[in-house]
Amino acid sequence: MSNGKRVLILGGDGFCGWPTSLHLSQQGYEVTIVDNMVRRKTDIELGCQSLTPIATIDERLRVWKELTGKKIGFINLNVAEDYHELLTVIKEIQPHEIVHFAEQRAAPYSMKSPRHKRYTVDNNINGTHNILCAIVESGLDIHLVHLGTMGVYGYGTAGMVIPEGYLPVKVDAGGKEVDLEIMYPANPGSIYHMTKTLDALLFYYYNKNDELRITDLHQGIVWGMATPETMMHPALVNRFDYESDYGTVLNRFLIQAAVGHPLTIYGNGGQTRAFIHIRDTVRCIQIAIENPAPKGQRVKIFNQATETHRVSKLAEIVSQITGAELRYYSNPRNEALDNELVIHNEQFLQLGLNPTTLSEGLLEDVVEIAANYKDRINMGIIPPVSRWREDIRLDPAGSDVPVTDNRIH
Ligand code: NAD
Ligand code: USQ
């Protein structure tokens, strides 16, 4: 039964957007997906495909309707370019909520070449700005939920716990100490992450000037791929990226283990990152929708991650479960050799999120799914191919020992 709430899911054909669309539809929301299918075209550009065979969007929606009786709408448009079409869709559908996933989200892809840098900035910044501008022009009171990244904070914390968006500071105002709360200083580590820090400024301004109600979700690395809804039918299966641009670290390790490829640890594996399982991503979006910031309040910022792990430790865990070999590759990125990361995520916990943390069973599930699709894997696109600077060495072969110097000499 419909709960009478209309939601537009921008980027609803993607890795996070598709399971979220199904989950919200199952929960009674009236869902319409907007997507320009660019992610499927990028697969062709990169000469790769999702590990899992994904059905066309028409087939996905047909099967969903057949199984559940629920209709999900679909509109093919580019939010970064088709402003008037986007405005028309918003005016016609009059959504209560817009969830914005529609960005180029791979850090390595954003660093490939000047063309990729420019595309990522044009797509992400124009897209976000068009959405904000169209909400204001529509005159409707729509709550916008945006998928941001933990990477807006940078990953070096000087030992402190990363707060949820805002940092309390004391400043010296002519001899008098004043307490302020400022946006946590932006510290992006790639062109992609930079677009998310710029998004945050756009949100700040539109919230201040137009009183838009906005929630920015600073999400960690999503792992796993299946949710109860995507498992209902082969045509509903989620995409699963494993090549070196779009594949993210833990999912890559799990696939590599399934096909007998050594685990591709960059540098010495000293990087620590925040993680969240895809099942919790969809629950967090529902929680964010159901707890919007009231009008007149500042942008609501949540850290959407449930745990942090060091890359080398993750590799050890996967290796212990599966027997996979470890291999170290000169790091194609310009990042610190290692970092600590401790984060606050109390808001989602207080609102009822029961975190799905790393467990042997869940890791094994992914390895098992990956093993089923073994024949679709192209081993040649596993080693890294995109680097952060011209003087950084690309290392397709890797070695048995940690690599601490990634420069060409
Ligand atoms: P994805 O690439 O699988 O999905 C993005 C979708 O948006 C694709 O279907 C693509 O076709 C669409 N899209 C992109 N630009 C568009 C445009 N201009 N107009 C219309 N549609 C467009 O990515 P994902 O993994 O689902 O990520 C979704 C969001 O979540 C991104 O904003 C990303 O930054 C954020 N996020 C993802 C992760 C992760 O680990 N996957 C982690 C943190 C944050
Ligand atoms: N890494 C390896 N081996 C690999 C791949 C990655 O050691 O085979 C290392 C990288 O050097 C990096 C870390 O693992 O230190 C994470 O890399 P990643 O590709 O898994 O994640 P990242 O580039 O940070 O981007 C992903 C999503 C992005 C999202 C971000 C959340 O693609 O959309 O914003 O995770 S976060 O990392 O919290 O900023």
C-alpha–C-alpha distance, residues 13 and 15, integer Å: 7
If you write DSSP's letter for every residue of 129-192 in order, what string do you get?
A: HHHHHHHHHHT---EEEEEEEGGGG-S--TTPPB-SSEEEEEEEETTEEEEEEEEPPP--SSHH
Any idea what the CATH number is for the domain that residue 188 is in?
3.40.50.720
Position 157 pLDDT exceeds 80: no
User: What would the mean pLDDT of 53-62 be, rounded to a whole number?
Assistant: 98
If you write DSSP's letter for every residue of 224-257 in order, what string do you get?
A: ----TTGGG-GGGPPP---STTT--HHHHHHHHH
* Residue entry with tokens 């992914």: 366
Tens of pLDDT along 360-394? 888 999 999 999 999 999 999 999 999 999 999 99
The model's confidence at residue 166, banded by pLDDT at 50, 70 and 90, is very high
307 with 272: CB under 8 angstroms?
A: no
In a domain, 393, yes or no: no
Tens of pLDDT along 78-102? 999 999 999 999 999 999 999 999 9
In a domain, 396, yes or no: no
| Domain count within the chain | 1
C-alpha–C-alpha distance, residues 25 and 227, integer Å: 13
In a domain, 175, yes or no: yes
273 with 155: CB under 8 angstroms?
A: yes
Position 155 pLDDT exceeds 90: no
Position 46 pLDDT exceeds 80: yes
Position 304 pLDDT exceeds 80: yes
Q: Work out the percent of the chain whose per-residue pLDDT is above 70.
A: 100
Residue 361 DSSP SS3: helix
The pLDDT, as a whole number, for residue 361 is 86
247 with 255: CB under 8 angstroms?
A: yes
In a domain, 245, yes or no: yes
Position 51 pLDDT exceeds 90: yes
State the SS3 of 321-352: HHCCCEEEECCCCCCCCECCCCECCHHHHHCC
Q: Which tokens belong to 140?
A: 């409707």
Tens of pLDDT along 221-276? 999 999 999 999 999 999 999 999 999 999 999 999 999 999 999 999 999 999 99
105 CA: nearest ligand 1 atom: 34
The CB-side HSE value for 277 (13 A sphere, CA atoms) comes to 18
Q: What is the mean pLDDT of the chain?
A: 96
In a domain, 45, yes or no: yes
The pLDDT, as a whole number, for residue 360 is 87
In a domain, 367, yes or no: yes
The pLDDT, as a whole number, for residue 158 is 72
Q: Which tokens belong to 359?
A: 């467990």
Q: Tell how far the Cα of 336 is from the centroid of ligand 1, in angstroms.
A: 26
Tens of pLDDT along 131-146? 999 999 999 999 999 9
Residue type at position 138: S
221 CA: nearest ligand 1 atom: 40
Measured from CB, residues less than 6 Å from any atom of ligand 1 are 11, 13-17, 35-39, 78-80, 101-103, 105, 123, 127, 147, 149, 219, 221-222, 248
Check 120, 184, 196, 306 and give the catalytic one: 196
Residue 261 DSSP symbol: P
The pLDDT, as a whole number, for residue 293 is 87
In a domain, 388, yes or no: no
Helix axes 17-26, 57-68, angle to 10 degrees: 20
* Residue entry with tokens 């405005």: 87
Residues of the domain holding 41 = 6-381
Check 128, 149, 281, 308 and give the catalytic one: 149
In a domain, 398, yes or no: no
Q: Is 195 a known active-site residue?
A: no
The model's confidence at residue 159, banded by pLDDT at 50, 70 and 90, is confident
Position 327 pLDDT exceeds 80: yes
Q: Which tokens belong to 406?
A: 């990634």
Q: Which tokens belong to 321?
A: 């479960």
The pLDDT, as a whole number, for residue 64 is 98
Q: Give, rounded to a whole angstrom, the gap between the first and last alpha carbons of the chain.
A: 64
Q: Work out the percent of the chain whose per-residue pLDDT is above 90.
A: 95
381 with 243: CB under 8 angstroms?
A: yes
Mutation probe of ligand 1 site: the residue of 20, 39, 130, 216 with most atoms within 8 A of C-beta: 39
Helix (H) or strand (E) holding 56: none
